[in-house]
Structure 1
Protein backbone atom coordinates (compact mmCIF):
# COMPACT_ATOMS: atom_id res chain seq x y z
CA UNK A 1 0.00 0.00 0.00
CA UNK A 2 1.27 3.48 -0.89
CA UNK A 3 0.17 6.97 0.21
CA UNK A 4 -1.70 5.59 3.20
CA UNK A 5 -3.26 8.28 5.39
CA UNK A 6 -5.48 8.48 8.44
CA UNK A 7 -6.73 11.02 10.93
CA UNK A 8 -3.97 10.02 13.35
CA UNK A 9 -1.29 10.47 10.69
CA UNK A 10 -2.62 14.00 10.13
CA UNK A 11 -2.16 14.67 13.86
CA UNK A 12 0.88 12.53 14.71
CA UNK A 13 3.32 15.46 14.64
CA UNK A 14 0.76 18.00 15.82
CA UNK A 15 0.86 19.31 19.37
CA UNK A 16 -2.70 19.54 20.67
CA UNK A 17 -4.73 18.99 23.82
CA UNK A 18 -8.05 17.18 24.00
CA UNK A 19 -10.19 17.72 27.07
CA UNK A 20 -13.75 17.64 28.34
CA UNK A 21 -15.06 20.82 29.95
CA UNK A 22 -18.35 21.73 31.56
CA UNK A 23 -19.90 24.43 29.40
CA UNK A 24 -23.05 25.65 31.13
CA UNK A 25 -23.84 22.11 32.25
CA UNK A 26 -22.91 20.46 28.94
CA UNK A 27 -19.87 18.16 29.12
CA UNK A 28 -18.05 19.23 25.97
CA UNK A 29 -15.25 17.53 24.05
CA UNK A 30 -12.73 20.16 22.99
CA UNK A 31 -9.36 20.22 21.28
CA UNK A 32 -6.99 23.17 21.38
CA UNK A 33 -3.76 23.74 19.46
CA UNK A 34 -1.33 26.60 19.22
CA UNK A 35 -0.24 29.39 21.53
CA UNK A 36 -3.12 30.56 23.77
CA UNK A 37 -1.72 34.09 23.47
CA UNK A 38 -2.16 34.08 19.68
CA UNK A 39 -5.20 35.23 17.72
CA UNK A 40 -7.98 32.65 18.34
CA UNK A 41 -9.70 30.68 15.58
CA UNK A 42 -12.93 28.80 16.37
CA UNK A 43 -13.66 25.83 14.09
CA UNK A 44 -17.24 24.55 13.77
CA UNK A 45 -18.19 21.23 12.14
CA UNK A 46 -21.39 20.18 10.35
CA UNK A 47 -24.50 18.23 11.37
CA UNK A 48 -23.66 15.09 13.36
CA UNK A 49 -19.98 15.95 13.22
CA UNK A 50 -17.00 16.14 15.58
CA UNK A 51 -13.77 18.07 15.85
CA UNK A 52 -11.68 15.57 13.83
CA UNK A 53 -13.11 16.99 10.62
CA UNK A 54 -10.50 19.72 11.17
CA UNK A 55 -7.58 17.31 11.60
CA UNK A 56 -6.06 18.41 8.23
CA UNK A 57 -6.49 22.08 9.22
CA UNK A 58 -4.95 22.27 12.69
CA UNK A 59 -1.34 21.97 11.55
CA UNK A 60 -1.63 24.82 9.06
CA UNK A 61 -3.26 27.13 11.60
CA UNK A 62 -1.73 26.32 14.96
CA UNK A 63 1.73 27.72 14.32
CA UNK A 64 0.08 31.12 13.85
CA UNK A 65 -3.20 30.94 15.75
CA UNK A 66 -4.80 29.51 18.88
CA UNK A 67 -7.22 26.92 17.49
CA UNK A 68 -10.34 25.81 19.33
CA UNK A 69 -12.31 22.95 17.73
CA UNK A 70 -15.00 21.00 19.56
CA UNK A 71 -17.97 18.70 19.26
CA UNK A 72 -20.91 21.10 19.34
CA UNK A 73 -23.79 20.49 21.74
CA UNK A 74 -25.73 17.36 20.73
CA UNK A 75 -22.95 16.18 18.41
CA UNK A 76 -20.03 13.79 18.59
CA UNK A 77 -19.01 12.82 22.12
CA UNK A 78 -20.37 16.00 23.71
CA UNK A 79 -23.46 15.81 25.93
CA UNK A 80 -26.82 15.69 24.22
CA UNK A 81 -29.46 17.55 26.25
CA UNK A 82 -33.12 16.70 25.81
CA UNK A 83 -34.03 19.72 23.69
CA UNK A 84 -34.14 20.42 19.95
CA UNK A 85 -30.81 21.76 18.70
CA UNK A 86 -31.77 24.98 16.98
CA UNK A 87 -29.35 27.76 16.03
CA UNK A 88 -29.70 29.76 19.30
CA UNK A 89 -28.77 26.60 21.25
CA UNK A 90 -25.63 26.17 19.16
CA UNK A 91 -24.73 29.86 19.44
CA UNK A 92 -24.94 29.83 23.24
CA UNK A 93 -22.76 26.73 23.37
CA UNK A 94 -20.13 28.37 21.15
CA UNK A 95 -20.18 31.50 23.30
CA UNK A 96 -19.74 29.34 26.39
CA UNK A 97 -16.71 27.56 24.91
CA UNK A 98 -15.15 30.90 24.02
CA UNK A 99 -15.75 32.26 27.52
CA UNK A 100 -14.24 29.14 29.09
CA UNK A 101 -11.02 29.85 27.18
CA UNK A 102 -11.02 33.57 27.91
CA UNK A 103 -11.68 34.41 24.25
CA UNK A 104 -13.61 37.63 23.63
CA UNK A 105 -13.43 37.56 19.82
CA UNK A 106 -12.04 35.23 17.15
CA UNK A 107 -11.86 34.25 13.53
CA UNK A 108 -14.49 31.61 12.70
CA UNK A 109 -14.14 28.69 10.28
CA UNK A 110 -17.45 26.88 9.80
CA UNK A 111 -18.65 24.06 7.59
CA UNK A 112 -22.30 23.54 6.61
CA UNK A 113 -24.20 23.76 9.94
CA UNK A 114 -21.05 25.28 11.45
CA UNK A 115 -21.08 27.98 8.77
CA UNK A 116 -24.73 28.69 9.60
CA UNK A 117 -23.92 29.00 13.31
CA UNK A 118 -20.87 31.19 12.65
CA UNK A 119 -22.88 33.46 10.34
CA UNK A 120 -25.63 33.76 12.94
CA UNK A 121 -23.07 34.78 15.56
CA UNK A 122 -21.76 37.39 13.10
CA UNK A 123 -25.31 38.76 12.79
CA UNK A 124 -26.43 38.67 16.43
CA UNK A 125 -23.07 39.04 18.20
CA UNK A 126 -20.83 40.87 15.70
CA UNK A 127 -18.37 41.87 18.43
CA UNK A 128 -17.29 38.20 18.70
CA UNK A 129 -16.29 37.79 15.04
CA UNK A 130 -13.13 39.06 13.35
CA UNK A 131 -13.15 37.13 10.04
CA UNK A 132 -15.44 34.42 8.68
CA UNK A 133 -14.67 31.39 6.53
CA UNK A 134 -17.84 29.66 5.34
CA UNK A 135 -17.57 26.24 3.69
CA UNK A 136 -20.60 24.61 2.07
CA UNK A 137 -22.75 27.12 3.96
CA UNK A 138 -26.32 26.54 5.06
CA UNK A 139 -28.77 29.00 6.58
CA UNK A 140 -30.19 30.99 3.66
CA UNK A 141 -32.46 28.59 1.81
CA UNK A 142 -34.01 25.20 2.41
CA UNK A 143 -35.33 22.63 -0.03
CA UNK A 144 -37.58 19.79 1.00
CA UNK A 145 -35.51 17.38 -1.08
CA UNK A 146 -32.26 18.17 0.72
CA UNK A 147 -33.84 18.11 4.18
CA UNK A 148 -35.45 14.75 3.44
CA UNK A 149 -32.14 13.34 2.16
CA UNK A 150 -30.24 14.39 5.27
CA UNK A 151 -32.93 13.09 7.62
CA UNK A 152 -33.12 9.74 5.83
CA UNK A 153 -29.33 9.25 5.67
CA UNK A 154 -28.67 10.15 9.30
CA UNK A 155 -31.66 8.30 10.73
CA UNK A 156 -30.76 5.17 8.79
CA UNK A 157 -27.15 5.37 9.93
CA UNK A 158 -28.08 5.81 13.60
CA UNK A 159 -30.76 3.12 13.60
CA UNK A 160 -28.47 0.67 11.81
CA UNK A 161 -24.89 1.85 12.39
CA UNK A 162 -23.16 -0.84 10.37
CA UNK A 163 -20.10 -0.03 8.28
CA UNK A 164 -21.93 0.20 4.95
CA UNK A 165 -24.62 2.62 6.15
CA UNK A 166 -22.03 4.91 7.72
CA UNK A 167 -19.78 4.74 4.67
CA UNK A 168 -22.70 5.57 2.36
CA UNK A 169 -23.20 8.81 4.26
CA UNK A 170 -19.71 9.94 3.31
CA UNK A 171 -20.47 9.48 -0.38
CA UNK A 172 -22.38 12.76 -0.10
CA UNK A 173 -19.64 14.50 1.88
CA UNK A 174 -16.40 13.63 0.08
CA UNK A 175 -16.13 13.20 -3.70
CA UNK A 176 -12.77 11.42 -3.72
CA UNK A 177 -13.31 7.92 -2.36
CA UNK A 178 -9.69 7.67 -1.22
CA UNK A 179 -10.39 10.50 1.24
CA UNK A 180 -13.28 8.61 2.87
CA UNK A 181 -10.85 7.27 5.42
CA UNK A 182 -11.63 4.05 7.32
CA UNK A 183 -10.87 5.62 10.69
CA UNK A 184 -13.15 8.54 9.81
CA UNK A 185 -15.96 6.08 9.12
CA UNK A 186 -15.09 4.12 12.27
CA UNK A 187 -15.15 7.27 14.40
CA UNK A 188 -18.59 8.25 13.12
CA UNK A 189 -19.75 4.69 13.66
CA UNK A 190 -18.64 4.85 17.31
CA UNK A 191 -20.64 8.06 17.75
CA UNK A 192 -23.74 6.67 16.08
CA UNK A 193 -23.61 3.52 18.20
CA UNK A 194 -23.90 5.58 21.38
CA UNK A 195 -27.17 5.32 23.28
CA UNK A 196 -27.37 9.11 23.67
CA UNK A 197 -27.02 9.60 19.91
CA UNK A 198 -29.88 7.16 19.27
CA UNK A 199 -32.02 8.82 21.93
CA UNK A 200 -31.55 12.35 20.59
CA UNK A 201 -31.42 11.87 16.81
CA UNK A 202 -34.68 13.80 16.38
CA UNK A 203 -33.19 16.72 18.30
CA UNK A 204 -30.09 16.60 16.10
CA UNK A 205 -32.25 16.66 12.99
CA UNK A 206 -34.58 19.41 14.20
CA UNK A 207 -33.27 21.79 11.53
CA UNK A 208 -34.36 19.33 8.84
CA UNK A 209 -37.99 20.02 9.78
CA UNK A 210 -39.39 22.65 7.42
CA UNK A 211 -41.11 24.80 10.05
CA UNK A 212 -38.18 24.67 12.46
CA UNK A 213 -35.66 25.39 9.74
CA UNK A 214 -37.65 28.34 8.46
CA UNK A 215 -37.61 30.13 11.80
CA UNK A 216 -33.84 29.64 12.09
CA UNK A 217 -32.84 30.78 8.59
CA UNK A 218 -31.08 34.11 8.17
CA UNK A 219 -33.01 36.45 5.89
CA UNK A 220 -31.16 38.20 3.06
CA UNK A 221 -31.13 41.48 4.97
CA UNK A 222 -29.47 39.72 7.91
CA UNK A 223 -26.72 38.33 5.69
CA UNK A 224 -26.19 41.90 4.47
CA UNK A 225 -25.61 42.98 8.09
CA UNK A 226 -22.46 40.84 8.40
CA UNK A 227 -19.51 43.20 8.62
CA UNK A 228 -16.74 40.66 9.14
CA UNK A 229 -14.51 40.05 6.10
CA UNK A 230 -15.68 36.71 4.74
CA UNK A 231 -14.30 33.98 2.50
CA UNK A 232 -16.99 31.71 1.09
CA UNK A 233 -15.77 28.35 -0.21
CA UNK A 234 -17.75 27.10 -3.20
CA UNK A 235 -17.35 23.35 -3.69
CA UNK A 236 -17.88 22.39 -7.31
CA UNK A 237 -19.14 18.84 -6.66
CA UNK A 238 -21.38 19.68 -3.71
CA UNK A 239 -25.17 19.41 -3.76
CA UNK A 240 -26.89 22.17 -5.71
CA UNK A 241 -28.45 23.78 -2.63
CA UNK A 242 -25.03 24.38 -1.06
CA UNK A 243 -23.47 25.65 -4.27
CA UNK A 244 -26.36 28.06 -4.69
CA UNK A 245 -26.17 29.19 -1.07
CA UNK A 246 -22.42 29.80 -1.31
CA UNK A 247 -22.78 32.19 -4.23
CA UNK A 248 -25.91 33.88 -2.88
CA UNK A 249 -24.46 34.65 0.56
CA UNK A 250 -21.22 35.84 -1.03
CA UNK A 251 -23.28 38.33 -3.04
CA UNK A 252 -25.14 39.47 0.10
CA UNK A 253 -22.25 39.86 2.57
CA UNK A 254 -20.67 43.27 1.88
CA UNK A 255 -17.01 42.31 2.35
CA UNK A 256 -16.81 38.82 0.88
CA UNK A 257 -14.83 36.78 -1.61
CA UNK A 258 -15.52 33.40 -3.18
CA UNK A 259 -12.83 30.74 -3.19
CA UNK A 260 -13.70 28.08 -5.74
CA UNK A 261 -12.71 24.45 -5.17
CA UNK A 262 -14.15 22.67 -8.21
CA UNK A 263 -12.96 19.14 -7.43
CA UNK A 264 -14.47 18.63 -3.96
CA UNK A 265 -17.83 18.00 -2.37
CA UNK A 266 -19.21 18.97 1.07
CA UNK A 267 -15.98 18.76 3.11
CA UNK A 268 -13.57 20.88 1.03
CA UNK A 269 -11.01 21.38 3.80
CA UNK A 270 -10.79 17.64 4.50
CA UNK A 271 -10.83 16.49 0.89
CA UNK A 272 -8.19 18.89 -0.46
CA UNK A 273 -6.21 20.49 2.38
CA UNK A 274 -3.29 21.18 0.01
CA UNK A 275 -5.50 23.69 -1.81
CA UNK A 276 -7.61 24.88 1.12
CA UNK A 277 -5.03 25.47 3.85
CA UNK A 278 -2.82 28.04 2.04
CA UNK A 279 -5.93 29.97 0.97
CA UNK A 280 -7.24 29.90 4.54
CA UNK A 281 -3.98 31.18 6.04
CA UNK A 282 -3.66 33.87 3.39
CA UNK A 283 -7.22 35.07 3.97
CA UNK A 284 -6.83 35.19 7.75
CA UNK A 285 -3.65 37.17 7.22
CA UNK A 286 -1.12 34.92 8.87
CA UNK A 287 -1.01 37.30 11.83
CA UNK A 288 0.78 36.20 14.97
Structure 2
Protein backbone atom coordinates (compact mmCIF):
# COMPACT_ATOMS: atom_id res chain seq x y z
CA UNK A 1 0.00 0.00 0.00
CA UNK A 2 1.37 3.42 -0.89
CA UNK A 3 1.27 7.07 0.15
CA UNK A 4 2.70 10.10 -1.61
CA UNK A 5 5.74 12.00 -0.44
CA UNK A 6 6.12 15.78 -0.63
CA UNK A 7 7.44 15.58 -4.19
CA UNK A 8 4.53 13.37 -5.29
CA UNK A 9 6.46 10.11 -5.48
CA UNK A 10 4.74 7.03 -4.11
CA UNK A 11 5.98 5.66 -0.80
CA UNK A 12 5.18 2.02 -0.05
CA UNK A 13 5.30 0.54 3.43
CA UNK A 14 4.39 -2.70 5.18
CA UNK A 15 2.46 -0.59 7.68
CA UNK A 16 0.24 0.58 4.87
CA UNK A 17 -1.24 -2.93 5.02
CA UNK A 18 -1.25 -3.34 8.79
CA UNK A 19 -2.16 0.05 10.22
CA UNK A 20 -5.93 -0.60 10.45
CA UNK A 21 -5.71 -4.35 10.99
CA UNK A 22 -6.75 -5.80 14.34
CA UNK A 23 -3.90 -8.25 14.87
CA UNK A 24 -1.38 -9.26 17.49
CA UNK A 25 2.25 -10.24 17.36
CA UNK A 26 3.76 -12.50 19.96
CA UNK A 27 5.98 -15.44 20.81
CA UNK A 28 5.02 -19.00 21.69
CA UNK A 29 6.87 -22.26 22.21
CA UNK A 30 6.43 -24.79 19.42
CA UNK A 31 8.37 -28.06 19.48
CA UNK A 32 10.71 -26.47 22.01
CA UNK A 33 11.39 -23.45 19.78
CA UNK A 34 10.53 -19.87 20.76
CA UNK A 35 8.42 -18.99 17.74
CA UNK A 36 7.40 -15.52 16.60
CA UNK A 37 3.92 -15.17 15.12
CA UNK A 38 1.25 -12.76 13.95
CA UNK A 39 -2.42 -13.62 14.41
CA UNK A 40 -5.54 -12.00 12.95
CA UNK A 41 -9.17 -12.96 12.51
CA UNK A 42 -11.69 -14.74 14.70
CA UNK A 43 -10.38 -17.93 16.35
CA UNK A 44 -13.80 -19.45 15.62
CA UNK A 45 -13.31 -19.07 11.85
CA UNK A 46 -11.63 -21.70 9.66
CA UNK A 47 -7.86 -21.63 10.16
CA UNK A 48 -5.12 -20.51 7.76
CA UNK A 49 -1.42 -20.97 8.52
CA UNK A 50 1.06 -18.92 6.47
CA UNK A 51 4.62 -20.13 5.83
CA UNK A 52 7.41 -17.94 4.38
CA UNK A 53 10.51 -18.88 2.36
CA UNK A 54 14.18 -19.39 3.26
CA UNK A 55 15.46 -16.69 5.62
CA UNK A 56 12.06 -15.06 5.80
CA UNK A 57 9.66 -13.87 8.49
CA UNK A 58 5.94 -13.38 8.85
CA UNK A 59 5.92 -9.86 7.38
CA UNK A 60 6.05 -11.31 3.88
CA UNK A 61 2.33 -11.92 4.44
CA UNK A 62 1.56 -8.35 5.50
CA UNK A 63 -0.46 -7.66 2.31
CA UNK A 64 -2.37 -10.96 2.75
CA UNK A 65 -3.11 -11.04 6.47
CA UNK A 66 -5.83 -8.39 6.43
CA UNK A 67 -7.97 -9.59 3.51
CA UNK A 68 -7.81 -13.26 4.52
CA UNK A 69 -8.49 -12.56 8.20
CA UNK A 70 -11.87 -11.07 7.29
CA UNK A 71 -13.00 -14.65 6.66
CA UNK A 72 -10.37 -16.85 8.36
CA UNK A 73 -8.38 -17.19 11.56
CA UNK A 74 -4.90 -16.45 10.21
CA UNK A 75 -1.54 -17.18 11.80
CA UNK A 76 1.75 -16.35 10.10
CA UNK A 77 4.98 -17.47 11.75
CA UNK A 78 8.74 -17.13 11.60
CA UNK A 79 9.75 -20.74 11.09
CA UNK A 80 12.48 -22.32 13.21
CA UNK A 81 15.90 -20.82 12.46
CA UNK A 82 14.34 -17.98 10.44
CA UNK A 83 13.43 -14.39 11.13
CA UNK A 84 13.23 -13.53 14.82
CA UNK A 85 12.35 -17.03 16.00
CA UNK A 86 14.80 -19.15 17.99
CA UNK A 87 17.71 -20.69 16.08
CA UNK A 88 18.76 -23.93 17.80
CA UNK A 89 22.16 -25.47 17.10
CA UNK A 90 21.17 -28.20 14.65
CA UNK A 91 20.28 -28.46 10.96
CA UNK A 92 16.80 -27.39 9.86
CA UNK A 93 15.64 -30.15 7.57
CA UNK A 94 12.03 -30.61 6.47
CA UNK A 95 10.94 -32.88 9.37
CA UNK A 96 12.10 -30.18 11.81
CA UNK A 97 9.81 -27.64 10.13
CA UNK A 98 6.90 -30.09 9.96
CA UNK A 99 7.14 -30.78 13.70
CA UNK A 100 7.06 -27.06 14.37
CA UNK A 101 4.00 -26.60 12.13
CA UNK A 102 2.11 -29.30 13.99
CA UNK A 103 3.05 -27.74 17.34
CA UNK A 104 1.89 -24.29 16.19
CA UNK A 105 -1.43 -25.78 15.09
CA UNK A 106 -1.82 -27.53 18.43
CA UNK A 107 -1.06 -24.30 20.31
CA UNK A 108 -3.79 -22.40 18.45
CA UNK A 109 -6.30 -25.24 18.62
CA UNK A 110 -6.18 -25.95 14.90
CA UNK A 111 -7.25 -29.53 14.36
CA UNK A 112 -7.13 -28.76 10.65
CA UNK A 113 -5.89 -25.72 8.72
CA UNK A 114 -5.44 -24.42 5.21
CA UNK A 115 -1.74 -23.93 4.46
CA UNK A 116 -0.42 -21.00 2.41
CA UNK A 117 3.26 -21.51 1.65
CA UNK A 118 5.90 -19.80 -0.43
CA UNK A 119 9.10 -21.51 -1.66
CA UNK A 120 10.46 -23.31 1.42
CA UNK A 121 7.07 -22.73 3.04
CA UNK A 122 5.35 -24.47 0.12
CA UNK A 123 7.75 -27.40 0.53
CA UNK A 124 6.93 -27.61 4.25
CA UNK A 125 3.19 -27.32 3.54
CA UNK A 126 3.32 -30.18 1.02
CA UNK A 127 5.41 -32.33 3.36
CA UNK A 128 2.85 -31.72 6.11
CA UNK A 129 0.08 -32.81 3.74
CA UNK A 130 2.03 -35.99 2.96
CA UNK A 131 2.82 -36.89 6.57
CA UNK A 132 -0.31 -35.58 8.29
CA UNK A 133 -3.11 -35.33 5.70
CA UNK A 134 -5.76 -35.17 8.41
CA UNK A 135 -4.37 -31.80 9.56
CA UNK A 136 -4.47 -30.09 6.15
CA UNK A 137 -7.53 -28.61 4.48
CA UNK A 138 -6.51 -26.79 1.30
CA UNK A 139 -3.12 -25.52 0.17
CA UNK A 140 -1.89 -22.52 -1.77
CA UNK A 141 1.63 -23.14 -3.07
CA UNK A 142 3.70 -20.24 -4.41
CA UNK A 143 7.14 -20.69 -5.99
CA UNK A 144 7.09 -24.28 -4.71
CA UNK A 145 10.25 -26.16 -3.87
CA UNK A 146 10.70 -29.76 -2.80
CA UNK A 147 10.37 -31.69 -6.06
CA UNK A 148 13.71 -31.20 -7.78
CA UNK A 149 17.02 -29.49 -7.04
CA UNK A 150 19.61 -28.06 -9.40
CA UNK A 151 23.18 -27.44 -8.35
CA UNK A 152 23.20 -23.96 -9.89
CA UNK A 153 20.15 -22.75 -7.99
CA UNK A 154 21.38 -24.19 -4.69
CA UNK A 155 24.75 -22.51 -5.20
CA UNK A 156 23.07 -19.19 -6.02
CA UNK A 157 20.93 -19.24 -2.89
CA UNK A 158 23.83 -20.24 -0.65
CA UNK A 159 26.11 -17.56 -2.10
CA UNK A 160 23.52 -14.78 -1.85
CA UNK A 161 22.43 -15.55 1.70
CA UNK A 162 25.95 -16.15 3.00
CA UNK A 163 27.09 -12.87 1.47
CA UNK A 164 24.14 -11.05 3.01
CA UNK A 165 24.96 -12.43 6.47
CA UNK A 166 28.68 -11.70 6.15
CA UNK A 167 27.97 -8.23 4.81
CA UNK A 168 24.47 -7.14 5.91
CA UNK A 169 24.70 -3.83 4.08
CA UNK A 170 21.70 -2.26 2.36
CA UNK A 171 23.21 -3.09 -1.03
CA UNK A 172 23.78 -6.72 -0.12
CA UNK A 173 20.26 -7.22 1.24
CA UNK A 174 18.73 -5.39 -1.72
CA UNK A 175 20.49 -7.80 -4.04
CA UNK A 176 18.69 -10.72 -2.39
CA UNK A 177 15.36 -9.07 -3.13
CA UNK A 178 16.19 -8.62 -6.80
CA UNK A 179 15.59 -12.36 -7.14
CA UNK A 180 12.43 -12.27 -5.03
CA UNK A 181 10.50 -9.27 -6.37
CA UNK A 182 10.55 -8.14 -9.99
CA UNK A 183 9.19 -4.61 -9.51
CA UNK A 184 11.74 -2.32 -7.85
CA UNK A 185 8.91 -0.25 -6.32
CA UNK A 186 7.75 -3.34 -4.41
CA UNK A 187 11.16 -3.90 -2.76
CA UNK A 188 10.01 -1.87 0.21
CA UNK A 189 12.60 -0.07 2.35
CA UNK A 190 11.11 -1.35 5.59
CA UNK A 191 11.11 -4.89 4.17
CA UNK A 192 14.83 -4.62 3.39
CA UNK A 193 15.43 -3.09 6.82
CA UNK A 194 13.67 -6.01 8.51
CA UNK A 195 15.77 -8.56 6.65
CA UNK A 196 18.88 -6.52 7.43
CA UNK A 197 18.00 -6.65 11.13
CA UNK A 198 17.64 -10.45 10.91
CA UNK A 199 20.97 -10.89 9.12
CA UNK A 200 22.78 -8.64 11.61
CA UNK A 201 21.77 -10.86 14.53
CA UNK A 202 24.48 -12.89 16.19
CA UNK A 203 22.30 -16.01 16.23
CA UNK A 204 21.70 -15.69 12.48
CA UNK A 205 25.42 -15.53 11.77
CA UNK A 206 26.06 -18.50 14.04
CA UNK A 207 23.38 -20.72 12.47
CA UNK A 208 23.36 -19.72 8.79
CA UNK A 209 24.82 -23.10 7.81
CA UNK A 210 21.97 -24.85 9.65
CA UNK A 211 19.48 -22.72 7.73
CA UNK A 212 21.15 -23.40 4.38
CA UNK A 213 21.46 -27.17 4.88
CA UNK A 214 18.78 -27.73 2.22
CA UNK A 215 21.11 -26.11 -0.33
CA UNK A 216 23.51 -29.04 0.11
CA UNK A 217 22.89 -31.71 -2.52
CA UNK A 218 22.92 -34.73 -0.20
CA UNK A 219 20.64 -33.13 2.38
CA UNK A 220 18.28 -31.77 -0.25
CA UNK A 221 17.99 -35.15 -1.98
CA UNK A 222 16.92 -36.92 1.22
CA UNK A 223 14.31 -34.21 1.91
CA UNK A 224 12.76 -33.96 -1.55
CA UNK A 225 9.17 -35.19 -1.88
CA UNK A 226 8.97 -38.04 -4.43
CA UNK A 227 6.55 -37.67 -7.32
CA UNK A 228 4.45 -40.54 -5.97
CA UNK A 229 3.98 -38.67 -2.69
CA UNK A 230 2.99 -35.48 -4.49
CA UNK A 231 0.46 -37.52 -6.45
CA UNK A 232 -0.96 -38.91 -3.21
CA UNK A 233 -1.77 -35.51 -1.68
CA UNK A 234 -5.54 -35.20 -1.47
CA UNK A 235 -5.72 -31.57 -0.32
CA UNK A 236 -7.24 -29.28 -2.97
CA UNK A 237 -4.43 -27.01 -4.06
CA UNK A 238 -3.97 -23.70 -5.86
CA UNK A 239 -0.54 -23.49 -7.47
CA UNK A 240 0.61 -19.98 -8.35
CA UNK A 241 2.59 -19.75 -11.59
CA UNK A 242 4.91 -16.74 -11.35
CA UNK A 243 5.94 -15.78 -14.85
CA UNK A 244 9.21 -14.02 -13.96
CA UNK A 245 10.43 -16.46 -11.33
CA UNK A 246 13.61 -18.54 -11.58
CA UNK A 247 13.17 -21.31 -14.14
CA UNK A 248 13.42 -24.11 -11.57
CA UNK A 249 10.44 -22.76 -9.63
CA UNK A 250 8.37 -22.22 -12.76
CA UNK A 251 9.03 -25.79 -13.83
CA UNK A 252 8.27 -27.15 -10.36
CA UNK A 253 4.98 -25.24 -10.20
CA UNK A 254 3.80 -26.74 -13.50
CA UNK A 255 4.92 -30.25 -12.62
CA UNK A 256 3.41 -30.15 -9.13
CA UNK A 257 0.11 -28.91 -10.53
CA UNK A 258 0.12 -31.85 -12.95
CA UNK A 259 0.99 -34.40 -10.25
CA UNK A 260 -1.51 -33.28 -7.62
CA UNK A 261 -4.88 -34.99 -8.10
CA UNK A 262 -6.91 -31.87 -7.20
CA UNK A 263 -5.00 -28.80 -8.33
CA UNK A 264 -5.63 -25.60 -10.23
CA UNK A 265 -3.11 -23.10 -11.56
CA UNK A 266 -3.38 -19.37 -10.99
CA UNK A 267 -1.33 -17.46 -13.54
CA UNK A 268 0.60 -14.38 -12.40
CA UNK A 269 2.87 -13.63 -15.38
CA UNK A 270 4.37 -10.34 -14.19
CA UNK A 271 5.73 -11.36 -10.78
CA UNK A 272 8.81 -13.15 -9.49
CA UNK A 273 9.31 -15.27 -6.34
CA UNK A 274 6.93 -13.42 -3.97
CA UNK A 275 3.70 -13.22 -6.02
CA UNK A 276 1.43 -12.44 -3.05
CA UNK A 277 3.63 -9.53 -1.99
CA UNK A 278 4.38 -8.15 -5.44
CA UNK A 279 0.77 -8.12 -6.65
CA UNK A 280 -1.64 -8.53 -3.71
CA UNK A 281 -4.47 -6.96 -5.71
CA UNK A 282 -4.43 -10.03 -7.95
CA UNK A 283 -3.40 -12.66 -5.41
CA UNK A 284 -5.72 -11.88 -2.50
CA UNK A 285 -9.06 -12.16 -4.35
CA UNK A 286 -7.92 -15.37 -6.04
CA UNK A 287 -6.78 -16.85 -2.72
CA UNK A 288 -10.05 -15.93 -1.01
CA UNK A 289 -12.11 -17.35 -3.85
CA UNK A 290 -10.17 -20.61 -3.73
CA UNK A 291 -10.22 -21.02 0.05
CA UNK A 292 -13.87 -20.08 0.47
CA UNK A 293 -15.45 -22.13 -2.30
Q: TM-score scaled by structure 2?
A: 0.97
Matches within 5 A, 1:256-275: 256-275=263-282
Cα distance in structure 2, aligned partners of 1:194 and 1:16:
26
- Alignment partner for residue 116 of structure 1, among 105, 109, 123? 123
Does residue 7 (structure 1) correspond to residue 14 (structure 2)? The answer is yes
Within the alignment, does 1:167 sit opposite 2:181 as a pair?
no
Partner of 1:140: 147
Q: Partner residue of 2:35?
A: 28
1:22 Cα deviation from its structure 2 partner: 1.6
Partner of 1:58: 65
**Pairwise mapping of residues 70-149 of structure 1 onto structure 2 (< 5 A)?**
70-149=77-156
Identify the match of residue 240 of structure 2 among 220, 233, 236: 233
DSSP-derived class of the 1:237 partner: coil
Residue segments in structure 2 that go unaligned for 5+ positions in a row:
none
Kindly state the Cα deviation for residue 9 of structure 1 after the two structures are TM-superposed.
1.4
Where 2:10 maps in the other structure, the secondary structure is: coil
What is the total number of aligned residue pairs between the two structures?
A: 286
Instruction: Check whether the contact 2:31–2:99 (CA below 8 A) recurs between aligned residues.
Output: no
TM-score (norm 1): 0.98
Match of 1:179 in 2: 186
The alpha-carbon deviation at position 285 of structure 1 amounts to: 1.2
The structural deviation recorded for 1:10 is 1.0
CA distance, structure 2, for counterparts of residue 25 and residue 214 of structure 1: 27
Contact 2:41-2:74 within 8 A present in 1 as well? yes
- How many Å apart are 1:24 and its aligned residue? 2.8
| RMSD of aligned residue pairs (Cα, Å) | 0.7
Runs of 4+ in 1 over 6 A off after TM superposition: none
Please, which of 154, 159, 162 is the counterpart of residue 155 of structure 1?
Answer: 162
Name the structure 2 match of 1:201.
208
